[in-house]
Structure 1
Amino acid sequence: MGEILQGQTYVKFGDQDMDAYLYLDMPEGSRTYVKEDILQILEDNGITVGIIEANIEKIINSGCYRTEVKVAEGIRPVDGTDGRFEFMFNRFLDKKPVLDEDGSVDYWSLSVIENVEKGQVIACYIPPTPEKPGISVKGEQVPGRRGRELQPLKGKGFVRSDDSRTYTALIDGKIEYKNDRIYISNLYEGFEDVDVVSGNIEFRGDIVIHGNVESGVSIKATGSITIDGKVEGAHITAGKDIILRSGVQGCNKAYIKSCGNIYSKFIEMAKVEAKGMILTNAIINSTVLSEDTVILRGNKGLISGSSVKGVKGVEAVTVGTKAGVRTKVSAGASEDTYQRISALKKIIEEARLALAEAEICINELNYENSRRPVRIENDPRMMLWLRSRVRNISIINESQAELEALNAIVDKSKRAYVRVLEDGYPGSRIEIDDKSVELKEVLEGVEFRKRNHEIVMYSLIRDMSQAAE
């Protein structure tokens, strides 16, 4: 074997001795290599692990001389994976519209805000996994790369758990990921006009728009909405107050709804609803409803060509016009409200009777089944009465909630009034609860209230003059 190994035979090792390659010179004369010769070469070079028997057989049988053949391979180490974050929100908003099936641009697909709720998990940290060492062809241990820990996330508006693995939002609002930091804010501020190109805005928090809001746009906020510019035929919905500093000119397309108060420079050709008060300088050709009061101020304080209702009351400087434009001003609870209250009481009573019947039948069936055990789902009678119970409980709860809301309106309306500080013109109609009166002549400084089932008019001018005295 020694004679055979003369010449240029050598063994080459790979990185970290993880591989071994044998270069075998031509044997002298008619002699050939056998397996034991090659194994001896490997042993002489310290190779004890991962010997590739198939390749050795190939060398012997095929005469693979003067070429490097892989004859051993170690067990490679497994690197640990680095720590990483999984984000439960969209970090990279798509601000480019997509195309509809017909090839047109869908501007409503634009994402300009990513919202989160208080208590929502926004990110989780996945810690690094441990490395696993390998073994070289020489039997030596080869270390793997240790997984790298990441620093905790920084920013504001969120909290991380004690083990730094879970990140939770502290507030409702807009979430942003900038420069490896997370920011959650309950204020969205826009400095440009909002139109169909910029897209709709829906935000959990307050919205401030410093530009205009054009037709066809929807803006929704759980908090307040303030718009510095003009509002056209847009839909504006807020969980709190709405402030329209330049008013709304809605082209009969605008819909403004607030769970708080609404303050607008003017309201023209729009539908406006508020659970709180509505304060404006003019209402023209619009439909306005407040579950509190509607108050018009300024030089005009005008209601014209509109239907305006404040459950508690309405106060305006001028109602109607000299041209006799049809104008309706209402206060109090409508006849429809009282009819709905009566209907709800009847619905609740019937549902309670049906619920009581269902409870009796369920108890009887429970007693019966206790003597011969039967699975509920296999008893059609029991399933029927259980569904009846669930259905009637739902009816009672929903009807009771609506009834409480309507009763609150009735309570607010008990001292309802319509107050005209200066001029009320013919063509105007005053309604309080289910009673109404048409203005047949120009009235100055009057207040309307309901007394003894009739609308009574009081002079504000006389009251003010008496107060002056």
Structure 2
Amino acid sequence: MKAFIRFQKPEDGAAPPGLKEVIQEIQKSGVVFGIKEEAVRYFALDPQYDRDLLIAEGVAPVNGEDGKVTFFVDLNREKKPVIMEDGSVNYRDLDYIVSVRKDQKLCEITLPTPGIHGKNVLGTVLRAIDGKPARVVQGSNVYTSEDKLIMYAAIDGHVKYEDGKLSVYATYEVPDNVDNSTGNINFIGSVFVRGNVLAGFTIEAGGDVEVFGVVEGATIKAGGNITLRRGMTGNNKGVLIAGGNIVARYIENSTVQAANDLKAEAIMHSDVKVGNRLELGGRKGLLVGGITRVGKEIDAKVIGSYLATNTVIEVGVDPNVRERYKTVRTEMADLEENVRKADQAISILQKLESAGGLSEEKKTILEKSLRSKAFYEDKLREYKEEMMLLEEKLHSEANGRIKVQNYLYNGVKISIGTASMNVKETLQHCILYKDGADIRVGPY
């Protein structure tokens, strides 16, 4: 890539080589490119002998840079326990599912650059290598920018990058059990579990959840529907919360909330809240034990048991309204008691003040009692206003009914709106509904 020339000092009396002779020597050697004309002229003016003179230098080729893909999601996330703020380790939250939102930027492709050819001093072209393009294939539920260089998620879901293909899937599938090997599942879309969900684990999904096996004392929360192909044995720890419907073969010793409907073959000893309709069908169609609150209708084959198992049923009002009503009523009772105690303290202190004055300590207590009473009374007024609205809802929405195909056993306590009754003797093939302030029993 470089050419040098060396001149020997001429014999005594001989003339040094001139510019013409130097150029002739260079041409004889075949050097035609990258000649350093300034260096040649300088030598002709001030010859330097017996040393190498750089008279030409080629240009090295510059290979192009390969294209690359810059990912904006963590595709190499590994299953590892989460370290809590207090330094403890949560071995069930492994945090390995890569969730993305619709229109989220996934990756950007940088194009390769072309190589720049070089040339040696003999004029031969030295070929450069062009950069190789980066390879990423647009997979399912992924769209690109107009220039095809940026990829975005077309849906909410989780990202997979396999065999050079980038895809987003709306459903996350667990091929076996939810246990220590998977940890808790937290996913923006829907979750399918082919096995069981073991006790103590949690599934949270923005979409639906479907479990093909048994759910033990676990927690499942879904923005959409929950489907349990078998059922749930909660052991008083299991929780199901759905923004849509819940369907299960059976539910036992669990806490259940469905914003819309719930369908099951049997529900036993559970705390159940259903926004719309509860249907108990199949072979058993059984509802027994626990407390069940349903917005509109219950349709069951059997409610209660021949053992007179304590079973509480509330129908005809949004369960959340009824629950809030009970909470406000309890809070009002507590506030009224606090007002009474404050009044009592104020009365005693004011009598002492009239009799002969109060110490600084007791004056402070009196001022504090007056402030507390004012606070309690303000809060009580707020609750009374809310209570009026809640009572109005309780009366206006109380149009629910209970349909029993076979047996409604004694030991069942029923509320429809503001009306209530205790079942004293077993009823058959009946429909219960509210009529004025009473609950009526009609034929099924």
* 1:114 has 2:136 as partner: no
Residue 310 of structure 1: aligned partner: 294
2:435 aligned with 1:451: yes
Deviation at 1:94, TM superposition (A): 1.1
In the superposition, relative to structure 1, how do residues 440 and 69 fare at CA in structure 2: closer, same or farther (>3 Å)? farther
Contact 2:409–2:423, Cα closer than 8 Å, also in 1: yes
Judging changes above 3 Å, is the alpha-carbon distance between structure 1 residues 224 and 103 closer, same or farther for their aligned structure 2 residues? Answer: closer
Identical aligned pairs, as a percentage? 28
Task: Name the SS for the 1:415 alignment partner.
Answer: coil
Would you say the 8 A contact 1:49–1:72 is kept in 2? yes
| 1:311 and 1:412 in contact (8 A); partners too | no
Corresponding position of 2:183: 199
Kindly state the Cα deviation for residue 138 of structure 1 after the two structures are TM-superposed: 7.1
Shift of 1:445: 2.8
State the shift of 1:265 in Å: 0.8
Structure 2 matches for 1:230-309, cutoff 5 A? 230-309=214-293
**Distance in 1 (alpha carbons) for counterparts of 2:289 and 2:167:** 48
Query: What is the CA distance between 1:192 and its match in structure 2?
Result: 0.8
Q: Equivalences for 1:386-397 in 2 at 5 Å?
A: none
Q: Distance in 2 between matches of 1:243 and 1:130?
A: 56
Deviation at 1:206, TM superposition (A): 2.9
Contact 1:329 1:418 in 2 (8 A): no
- Structure 1 CA distance for aligned equivalents of residues 68 and 413 of structure 2: 68
The match for 1:324 is 308
Q: Deviations over 1:141-187 (max 9, x none)?
A: 75543223345624322222332112222233232111111233323
The 2-side partners of 1:69 and 1:189 are apart by 73
Residue 368 of structure 2 corresponds to which residue in structure 1? none
Assess if the C-alpha contact under 8 Å between 2:288 and 2:311 holds in 1.
yes
Q: Is the 8 A contact 2:230 2:248 kept in 1?
A: yes
Whether 2:93 is the aligned partner of 1:146: answer no
- TM-score of the aligned structures, taking structure 2 as reference length: 0.68
The answer for unaligned runs of 5 or more in structure 1 is 1-16, 28-35, 54-63, 342-405, 464-469
- Please tell me whether residue 82 in structure 1 is matched to residue 66 in structure 2: yes
Give the drift of 1:324. Answer: 2.9
CA deviation after TM superposition for structure 1 residue 319, in Å: 2.2
Q: Distance in 2 between matches of 1:97 and 1:334?
A: 40
Structure 1 residues 292-314: Cα deviation after superposition (integer angstroms, max 9, x where no partner): 11111234322222111110112
RMSD: 4.3
Return the TM-score normalized by structure 1: 0.64
Which residue of structure 1 lines up, in the alignment, with residue 198 of structure 2? 214
Distance 2:36 2:237 in 1: 79
Cα pair 1:214 1:233 within 8 Å, conserved: yes
- 2:424 alignment counterpart: 440
The count of residues paired between Structure 1 and Structure 2 equals: 363
SS of equivalent to 2:314: strand
Q: Hey, what does 1:57 align to over in structure 2?
A: none
Letter of the 2:217 partner, please give it.
G
**Alpha-carbon distance change, 71 to 248 in structure 1, aligned in 2, over 3 angstroms:** farther
Task: Check conservation: 1:158, 1:184, Cα contact below 8 A.
Answer: yes
Distance 2:93 2:167 in 1: 25
Point out the more displaced range, 41-50 or 419-428: 41-50
Residue deviations 1:307-355 (CA, integer Å, cap 9, x gap)? 11110112222222333332111112269738979xxxxxxxxxxxxxx
- Distance in 2, matches of 1:276 and 1:429, equals 23
List gaps (5 residues or longer) in structure 2.
10-17, 40-49, 326-389
For 1:234 and 1:97, the matched residues in 2 are separated by 19
Contact 1:116 1:175 (8 Å CA) reproduced: yes
Could you say which residue in structure 2 is the equivalent of 1:9? none
Q: Rate the CA distance shift 1:237–1:335 in 2: closer, same or farther, 3 A.
A: closer
CA distance in 1, matches of 2:288, 2:98: 41
Q: Are 1:156 and 2:140 an aligned pair?
A: yes
| Cα pair distance change 1:197/1:110, threshold 3 Å | farther
In structure 2, the CA distance between the partners of 1:183 and 1:71, relative to structure 1 (3 Å rule), is: same
Find the residue that maps to 1:430 and give its secondary structure. strand
CA contact (8 A) 2:416 2:439 kept: no
